[in-house]
Amino acid sequence: AGRSLPEAIRQTLLTTGKAMIFTSVILFFGFGILLTSNFTGTSVFGLLTSITLFVALLADLMVLPTLILLFKPKLTV
């Protein structure tokens, strides 16, 4: 409460960011194991899902905070 927007984003990334990273890494490797399948459809699904999870994590950690700072939403309480 009462923090500046950059400080609030920084604090959020320091606390929630760790959980996001751990969850994404677990899911990344969980779907990545599908790459060992002999069935091409399952293997490609594992690859695409793992790539999507990685890109989504990068967007959550880098793009979203940048957009919030850029557009500075009006917050009313």
In the DSSP assignment, the letter for residue 3 is -
Classify residue 28 by burial, with Cβ atoms within 10 Å: 0-12, 13-18, 19+.
middle
Low-confidence ranges of the chain (pLDDT < 50): none
Given this model, what pLDDT does residue 73 score? 74
Give the model's pLDDT for residue 39. 96
Indicate the pTM of the whole model: 0.77
